[in-house]
Each structure stands twice: as C-alpha cells, then as structure tokens.
Structure 1
Amino acid sequence: MEQSKKYFSFEGDNSAVFVDNAEWLLKLNYIDMLREIGADMSVNRMLSFECFKSRWEKGLTFLELNYMPMQAYDFLHLYRTKNIVLQLGGDDQWANILAGADLVRRKEGKTAYALTIPLLLKADGTKMGKSAKGALWIDKNRTTPYEIYQYLRNTEDSKVAEYLKRMTFLSLEEIAKLTEFEDERINYAKEVLAYEFVKLLHGEEDAIEAKRQSEAAFLGSSDDLPTIKLNLVGNEPIVDILVLASICKSKSEARSLITAGAIKVNERTVITFDEGITNVEQQAKTFVLHKGKKNHLKVNY
C-alpha cells in the first residue's frame, strides 16, 4: 500500500480503498455459492474463451475451472458492497472480468463494465518481468532502481519504441526521433527509456543514481556501483556469498552460473564451487561480484 500512495489518493470522500477478497471468499459456503451463481454461468461459454481453450488441450484442472466463477463473484460482491461498476486489468484477464460484468447483469439487472490493457510483452512473447529471477517490483527494497534501469537498458531493439510510448510521457515526436535508427544508436533510446521510467516510478534522484551506477558498471569503475554491506567472516564460498548478496536466488543457481563461467570476483572467473575470496580481497574488505556482463555489485564487509 505504501508504494501505491504515489499513484492513488487515500484521502477525501472518493479515496482509494484496498480490499482483500479473502474477507468474503473464505466465508463462502461452496454449496450456497453454487446455488447463487451456478445457474448463471455457462460452462460452454467459459470454454469458448481462449484462456480455457489453450488449457483444454493440455489438461484443464478443476481448480482452473473455478478461477473464473470466483473472480466473477468478486465483481458481484464489490458491486453490492461498494457500488463498483468498472473492473480494470491486463488483457489476459478479459474473460474473467467480462464474466463478472455478466454476472452483475444477471443477478442485479444492472450494467457493469470491463476495461483491459495490453500486457507488456518481450520480443519472444513472454510477459515482461516474468523471468527466471522473478517479477519487477515497484518496492525499491524488492527491486532496486538500478535493477529496473538495467533491465530496461537491455530491452530488445524491436520493443524500444513500444515501451517508450507505453512507459514514459515523452511525445510521439521525441520517440520517433529517438528510434529512427536501427543500429547501435538505438542504445541511447534504451538509456532514455530506463531513465524516464525510473524517474516516473521512484523520482529523479533515484533515476540519476541508477544511471550513474549503470555507467560505472559499463566503464569499469567500482566507485559508483550499487553497493551492499555483508556480515562476512572471509572464508565463505562464493556460492554462499552470491545468495547472501541476492545475486542468485539459490545455491543451485549459483553453481549453474559458475559452471557456465558467468561469475567473476573482480577480474578473476570463479571456477570451482568451493572457491572463496582471496587473501588480497580479505585484506581490502571489498570486492566486486560480476554476474554475466550486465549485473555488477560491489560488496563491502
């Protein structure tokens, strides 16, 4: 909720309200719910939506089949208790939101509305932020401004113009100028995208700092790199340090990256799983961890 205060007003007569659907769903008697909405939801219609068609061929579970009725009931409950007549969501939720609007019409005789927004997709068609590492969070304690900056700085060339249009307030004329070239000059447009979005999300100060850290990583200077302070003894394996520094989610991931030659400490490539920091690095009480060519973190201890 704290992060949402930048985008929603929680004061006044028409203030935003956060609700948890567990407040009403957990109290539902399943038989009673079936009696109330079961006759108003057509299984044939549900299966006509693409979200069910694609699962039907691979195997549709009873849990998945219940998702639409539950979300539709959410819309009905919010209409009854808070007079909600419009539900917004990503376009992958179109069928579920539409089912709720239809349920409001059938049960209450009133008109409700659905509005969906196209998802941000990567060039390969997968959802933006749904990588192996996980989603991008607006909470800077979950995903730092630098991490978001680097993520967008590495956007595929073919998606830069779309992201600039959807994730910044730059004019169409500015975006056209930034993306008119399809060679290495597109990299400047990526920097603008990363900077403008971080500024929009976290403010100009964080955007400037993220840009400085990114440039430091590219130019090889450790002074402006993102930095973390760890409570280390000095004899820990690099595998453990990678997890402690949140560069890797697990030791298994760390070992896989080491096997692939993707982990460096300062300028040396980590080769073995039991390898630790050197005597020189212990004496300096600082070193830089590199994960591939794009993720760099300065560690002090």
Structure 2
Amino acid sequence: MTYSSDFLRRLETRGFIHQVTDAAALDGAARQSSSGGVITAYVGFDCTAPSLHIGNLVSIMMLRHLQQSGHKPIVLMGGGTTKVGDPSGKDEGRQLLSDAQINTNMASIRRIFERFLTFGDGPTDAVMVNNDDWLSGLAYIPFLRDVGRHFSINRMLTFDSVRTRLDREQPLSFLEFNYMIFQAYDYLELNRRFGCTLQMGGSDQWGNIVGGTDLIRRIEAKDAYGLTTPLITRADGAKMGKTAAGAVWLHEDQLPHFDYWQFWRNTHDADVGKFLRLFTDLPLDEIARLEALAGAEINHAKDVLATQATALCRGRAAAEAAAETARATFAEGGAGEDLPQFAVGAPVTIIDALIGLGFAASKNEARKLVAQGGARIDGDAAGGDGALVAPGQKVSAGKKRHGLVVAA
C-alpha cells in the first residue's frame, strides 16, 4: 500500500517493512500531519553478550527513524527474558547467565544506543526499560490464570520458532516455550505504563509480536500493532552479518573500529544501494547516485557506506580514522595506526601472529593460511610456519585483513 505517514514512508522506501498487522490503521496512527499525535513503539533486546551485533542493527535503525519522524522509541532490555531464552531461530537452548552477568551486559549495551537515539524526558525522547522490573516479581499461579489462559497451545505450536525446533527433533524446554508468553506480557506492560502501541522486530518475531497485540486486545480492549523487517541477506545469499571470523559486533570493545569499517567496505557491489538505504541516514537521491556508479567507481560508494555506517555506530572521528587507515594501508602500502594490533615482547612466529591478531582461530587454520600463500609479512609471503614477525611489522591475511605486531 501507499503510506501517508512520514514514519512508514521512510521505512517502506528504505526497505524495512516485511509484515504489518494492520497497515492502514497504523499509518493513520502515525500520521502526525493531521493529528499531531505521537506513537510509542518498542523493540526488545536480550542481554546475552556485552554487545549487540550487526543482526540487531536493522531494528536499531527502525527506532532511529521512528524518533526522527517525531515519535517515541522504547528500548526494552531483556533483563528478565534473558534468563529464559528465545527459541526463535535457535537450534538449541541458550546458556543461562547470572544476574550479575546480565546487568554487566546491559550496561555495556546501553552505550551503543546512545549513539543512535536521543534519550531524555521529552515527549519523543527515547527511554530504556528493563523487563526484569515486572517479570521477576510475577506470581506464577496468578500469571497463568490472568495471562496464560489467553494463549492456545495449538496455535503456539504453529509458530516458526517452535515448529522448526520440533521438526528437527531438537529439544525445546518448557522454559523456552514460555518465552513468547513473556514477550507478549512485555508488550502489555509497556502499553499500560507508556501507552506503547507498536512492537517492531525481525521477521522471526512475527508470532511473538502477534501474540502481544492479541493479548492487549483481549485484556485491555485496545488496538496495538506489530511490524517486522525482512531477513536481510547479501547478494551471495548469506545472512547479513555472518562472516568467517564470527559475529560483527557493534561495540568497539568486541570489534576494533577499523574492522567494523572494513566489514562495510567489503560489501558486494550489488548490495551497496540496499545497505546505504538500511544502515545510513543519507538522502535517497544521493543513494541513487551512488548505487548507479559503475566499474571501479563503485568503490567510492563502498567507502561512503563504510564511513557513514561507522560514524553512526562508532562516532565520526572513529569512522574518519578508519577510512584514513584504509587509505594508508591499501593506497600507499603503509601501516595505519588504527589497524588491529598484537603486542609481543619478542619476535613471534607467523602462526602466533595470525592467531594473536584474530585472523585465525587455531594453529591448524593459521598453518593452512600460510600453506596457501595467504599470509604475508610486510607485503611478502610468509614462506613457512617458522617465519618470524618482529614488533613494528605488518601482517596480512588475504587481501583485506591487515594488522600490526607491536612491542608490549
């Protein structure tokens, strides 16, 4: 459909919308031009690690567009649901964390959102809420009586998050089975406390989100909406954010600025326009100009994507430093100071250097890289497993990964 609200037009033209529970009604609620009203929407994020990753970035950008359109974002931290585990897209149960680990992760994650959203007490300022504030205090029998009775086991078994695990004959604990009820209850609580009428998330959350809209309708007799994003894949069919080296973390403590910038710079030619629309604030006409570049000129568009995406997540200074490091490393053959570093007290073997820089996960993987000619020291092939790397030398793994060995 054609949207009239600024918020949904933004999402539609940039490729964020996959499913909406009642598109026309939500569009009307978000249409500020006629009513001057503000809608409040949320996305939930569990606290399983000290950082979120690229897979969470689409939802974060949706909250950003929501706020830029004059509406109020809620960042719901899953201090309670992290103790349960969401079965969506998982093949096995989640490792259970202590309260102390969850709280540490939550504090670390908050720093990421402060770069994308404006927090405060104003009508469109973002707020961060912890669902442990209400979940851990629930009395089980009253909760089952008041909330659980609104959920059909027959319907829950049809949700992708449950059916996939059962079809693969992989265990699904009763603890995880409760997750969708808790998520629906989160939506109900946010509706009561903040007037929240929209939950957003990835397409794998559709069943959970619909469960929340139904619960609000049944208990509060109010309208509530759900919106999901499509699964973001690369031109080669791989899931967005999956790399050989593992997750692409948003927090600099888990992934250096240069590596984050380089991830975006390595985007496939065919994905440049899509990723510029999803992961930057650039105007659509400028994006159209950049994605139309052909041949070697598309590399300029990739540089813009890398710098703009990194500036949003890590800050403008970090993005420009990473871009300068790339220029010094690739264009001039130098060794930029922002490259990954491995500190040593004495020369080490190329095997140890590759592992220390994070270019190989094991000695076998490092030896394979050397044997295939993919490991270089100051631009020259390593030559063998016993090649030594001294402080001050640059180590390369393939054409796109570079690091420095420095004195401890």
Superimposed CA distance per residue, residues 88-139 of structure 1 (whole angstroms, 9 cap, x where no aligned partner): 2223222211211211222222222222233432224443223343333332
Structure-2 residue corresponding to 1:2: 111
Aligned-pair distance for 1:260? 4.6
Q: 1:172 to 1:213 in 2, by over 3 A?
A: same
Q: Which runs of 5+ in 2 are unaligned?
A: 1-109
Aligned-pair distance for 1:287? 0.9
The residue correspondences of 1:92-171 to structure 2 (distance < 5 A) are 92-171=204-283
Structure-2 residue corresponding to 1:58: 168
The residue correspondences of 1:185-264 to structure 2 (distance < 5 A) are 185-219=297-331, 221-224=333-336, 226-227=338-339, 230-249=342-361, 251=363, 253-255=365-367, 257-258=369-370, 260-264=372-376
Contact 1:3 1:139 in 2 (8 A): yes
Q: 2:146 aligns with which of 36, 43, 60?
A: 36
Structure-1 residue corresponding to 2:395: 289
Moved more, 132-141 or 90-99: 132-141
Q: 1:8 to 1:214 in 2, by over 3 A?
A: same
Normalised to the residue count of structure 1, the TM-score between the two structures is 0.82
Q: CA RMSD in A?
A: 2.9
Superimposed CA distance per residue, residues 221-268 of structure 1 (whole angstroms, 9 cap, x where no aligned partner): 224253456442225444433343344455565455445543333223
Aligned-pair distance for 1:296? 0.4
Moved more, 176-185 or 153-162: 176-185
Structure-2 residue corresponding to 1:268: 381
Structure 1 CA distance for aligned equivalents of residues 365 and 136 of structure 2 = 37
Q: Percent identity?
A: 36
Contact 1:226 1:296 in 2 (8 A): no
Amino acid across the alignment from 1:154:
N
Q: 1:166 to 1:218 in 2, by over 3 A?
A: same
Q: Which runs of 5+ in 1 are unaligned?
A: none
The number of residues matched between the two structures is 294
Moved more, 262-271 or 209-218: 262-271
Normalised to the residue count of structure 2, the TM-score between the two structures is 0.63
Higher relative contact order (CA 8 A, sep 6+): 2
Amino acid across the alignment from 2:198:
L
Aligned-pair distance for 1:213? 1.5
Q: 1:146 to 1:89 in 2, by over 3 A?
A: same
Structure-2 residue corresponding to 1:298: 404
Amino acid across the alignment from 1:10:
F
Give 3-state SS (helix, strand or coil) of 1:286's partner.
Answer: coil
